[in-house]
Structure 1
Amino acid sequence: MKYIHIDHVEQGQHLGKTIFSGNGAILLSEGVQLTVYMITTLKRIGVTMVYIKDPLFEDIEIVDIVSEETKRAVIQRMGETFDSIRSGKDFNTRAFNGSIDNLLDEIMRNKDVLVQLSDIRTKDNEMYVHALNVSMMAVMIGIQLDLPATQLRELAIGAMLHDIGKVEKITDDEAGDSKLHHTWRGFEVLKNKRELSLLIAHVAFQHHERVDGSGTPRQMQGEQIHLYAKITAVANTYDNLLFDESLGRRMLPHEACEHMTALADTHLDREIVIHFLRTVSIYPTGASVRLSTKETGVVVGQHKGLPGRPVVRVVKAESGTDLEVAEIDLAKRTTVFIDSVLA
């Protein structure tokens, strides 16, 4: 299957990956034949990228570090947690922790798989998918740093709840009060949860601090910022660069990685950025690319440790109706490079 922009989807094509709502329910199932109405609806609810089945690439397997079932369960639990907070109720910590444990188990089993953030987002589920992605990436960085299991669990929970302070809306009159910044509000919500480590509350509090002291809300710097918050900041920055339209043009993964490298030692901790770059798929499987040879193809395979040198399948039309299919392994073809990613 191929990962393409919604504007390039055509009537009659088949969806390659299931789309979920904010509460984890299925909106459209994998394999459904798309109609004009479906495509229009996907655009209306904020979907920008989708997986489409393609007979030339039907053997491509998108390997995720977490299964669709676990993702759906976590998204559902996040929806319940945030709904409880919105209504002024206490959220179920035991149920939430159970979903985190399942998430951690799967990540540990698949820790050698490169992360690629290809889950289809809608306006309804984007807050929950963002929280899930930040938590997954934070744990992968933590594994690179050899954090023990107890710390990985704290990190996973803190990263999952880093934006919990955004759940309660504030008025324009309140917006100027620094104590009402979502980092402060998140800290206030979490510090009173006795079942959770206070360090988890500090992730919500510090994830917008910068190592050079220019961050918010307290302009902390360097070692004043807790390791969990530094890790979460890196994961949060990457996901925002890819999907947050308020930051301007959404970046492609390779662009976001270059941008984050430039932010090392100012906004982000350099060592953590280096560990992060070892875990992420710069050119996601299914993405269409143009090579330095002027050929176009689709990424069909990855190399752990060489995220910038994937395997690309090129399909050329020969005389008549025959097609020539060739796979170029950029880890071996060292003189060939990816020039651009085709949206």
Structure 2
Amino acid sequence: MLVRYVDMEAVEPGHLLGKTIYALNGTVLLSSGIQLTVYMISTLKRIGVTSLYIKDAEFDDVEPEEILSDETKRSIIRNMSETTDAIRSGKDFNSRAISVSIDDLLEDVIRNKEVLIQLNDIRTRDNAGFIHAMNVCIIATLLGINSNLNQIQLKELAIGSLLHDVGKPLMEQQEGESEPDRHTWRGFEILKAKREFSLLIAHVALQHHEHVDGTGEPRQLVGDQIHLYSRIVAVANTYDNLLQQETGGRRMLPHEACERMLSMSGKELDREILVQFMRVVSIYPNGVSVKLSTREHGVVVGQHRGLPGRPIVRLLERERDGEESIESREVDLAKENTVFIEQVLG
């Protein structure tokens, strides 16, 4: 059954939750499929949830596509929570647990590598940093696969991308020291001390805010002076961060984030990696309501790998003949070359 992405203000009691929400320690806060109550909706708003996925019975024939299993997600969020707590307490974190979680992630991503990126896990104020780390890791791993990295390199990249912000917890405890150049150096120092990790993993934390034109932090490196892993993570990190930015009182939409990133090509971001990214990201994710150039309204229900801007849109027409009936038809934008998505609807 398709899940629809809606603003919290449009969520009503009786709606079925479309995506599981995870607590700070990786446990399930609310399970997918649960019927929402007034109290649940109020609580979700209080903990910082601004948008939600709900199940839509009108699309019960559409199966959602996921890159990671729920078990892998829970494991990653739990281990990132424990890692953050350890770092804040000045203790060593469990690199073995991180490594095992990454093995599971790699298995999931490789198995589902044809699924386009749709970052649809629900964030709260508490879990946002861990969801961000997981999303950056998913994107970076897919880009690593497309860059023909071998298994050892993919694991280095995945660990580095998951822990790219590992220096932030300490910086957040020191007022005025959260700038990119400070948390990147601190992250580098933390990961360099982990002898079981490759030094390249530490360099991901150090270099992920460098720009290919030399305007980045902390060392103003240029082009290939920035390691491939870090250039990949820079693209992944930028995309997920843009999706959390607010423009005009709402979060930036995927197609808007992609347009912004294209303007960074050859400047902040590596051009070739950005080209690869545009091939694996869902610009119009499943469940998004859109208006077509034909003035018809519909919902995105399917994707084409390699053609992220040309999804399959299901149009719904409601007619009243004594009682309401629903007729639907699908428009495959990969085949209808003269039809375009004109607007993403709220």
TM interval, short-chain normalised:
over 0.9
Superposed displacement of residue 128, structure 1: 0.5
CA deviations 1:37-64 (Å, max 9, x no partner) are 2112111211122111221112222211
Equivalence for 1:337? 340
**Which residue, 145, 152, 155 being the options, matches 1:153?**
155
Which segment drifts farther, 39-48 or 135-144?
A: 39-48
Equivalence for 2:135? 133
- Give the letter aligned to residue 232 of structure 1: V
| CA distance, structure 2, for counterparts of residue 246 and residue 223 of structure 1 | 33
What SS is found at the alignment partner of 1:134? Answer: helix
- Give the letter aligned to residue 56 of structure 2: D
CA deviations 1:171-206 (Å, max 9, x no partner) are 33x639987x10011011111110000010000000
Superposed displacement of residue 245, structure 1: 5.0
| CA distance, structure 2, for counterparts of residue 95 and residue 17 of structure 1 | 25
Structure 1 length normalisation: TM-score? 0.95
- Identical amino acids, percent of aligned pairs: 60
| CA distance, structure 1, for counterparts of residue 47 and residue 247 of structure 2 | 17
CA deviations 1:75-134 (Å, max 9, x no partner) are 111111111111111111112101111110111111111110001111111110100000
| CA distance, structure 1, for counterparts of residue 183 and residue 238 of structure 2 | 16
| CA distance, structure 2, for counterparts of residue 64 and residue 42 of structure 1 | 23
Equivalence for 2:331? 328
Equivalence for 2:8? 6
Superposed displacement of residue 249, structure 1: 5.5
| CA distance, structure 1, for counterparts of residue 193 and residue 327 of structure 2 | 63
Give the 5 Å matches for 1:233-244: 233-244=234-245
Superposed displacement of residue 248, structure 1: 8.5
| CA distance, structure 1, for counterparts of residue 194 and residue 259 of structure 2 | 38
**Which residue, 30, 39, 46 being the options, matches 1:28?**
30
Give the 5 Å matches for 1:97-176: 97-168=99-170, 169-172=172-175, 175=177
Give the 5 Å matches for 1:249-260: 250-260=251-261
Equivalence for 1:87? 89
CA deviations 1:186-237 (Å, max 9, x no partner) are 0111111100000100000000010111111111111111110000000000
The runs of at least 4 consecutive aligned structure 1 residues that moved more than 4 Å come to: 176-179, 244-249
| CA distance, structure 2, for counterparts of residue 255 and residue 198 of structure 1 | 35
| CA distance, structure 2, for counterparts of residue 7 and residue 243 of structure 1 | 18
Structure 1, unaligned stretches of length 5 or more? none
> Structure 1 residues 37, 178: closer, same or farther in 2, change over 3 A?
closer
What SS is found at the alignment partner of 2:280? Answer: coil
- Aligned alpha-carbon RMSD (Å): 1.8
| CA distance, structure 1, for counterparts of residue 203 and residue 325 of structure 2 | 60
Structure 2, unaligned stretches of length 5 or more? none
Structure 2 length normalisation: TM-score? 0.95
- Give the letter aligned to residue 163 of structure 1: D
Equivalence for 1:57? 59
Contact 1:22 1:79 in 2 (8 A): yes
| CA distance, structure 2, for counterparts of residue 178 and residue 150 of structure 1 | 28
Which segment drifts farther, 22-31 or 188-197?
A: 22-31
| CA distance, structure 2, for counterparts of residue 338 and residue 246 of structure 1 | 20
What SS is found at the alignment partner of 2:234? Answer: helix
- Give the letter aligned to residue 71 of structure 2: E
| CA distance, structure 1, for counterparts of residue 115 and residue 179 of structure 2 | 43
Contact 1:206 1:217 in 2 (8 A): yes
Equivalence for 1:265? 266
CA deviations 1:282-312 (Å, max 9, x no partner) are 1111111111111111111111111111111
Please say if 1:67 is aligned against 2:95: no
What SS is found at the alignment partner of 2:263? Answer: helix
What SS is found at the alignment partner of 2:233? Answer: helix
What SS is found at the alignment partner of 2:236? Answer: helix
Contact 1:22 1:126 in 2 (8 A): no
Which segment drifts farther, 237-246 or 7-16?
A: 237-246
- Give the letter aligned to residue 187 of structure 1: F
> Structure 1 residues 323, 248: closer, same or farther in 2, change over 3 A?
closer
What SS is found at the alignment partner of 1:317? Answer: strand
Which segment drifts farther, 12-21 or 125-134?
A: 12-21
Contact 1:19 1:28 in 2 (8 A): yes
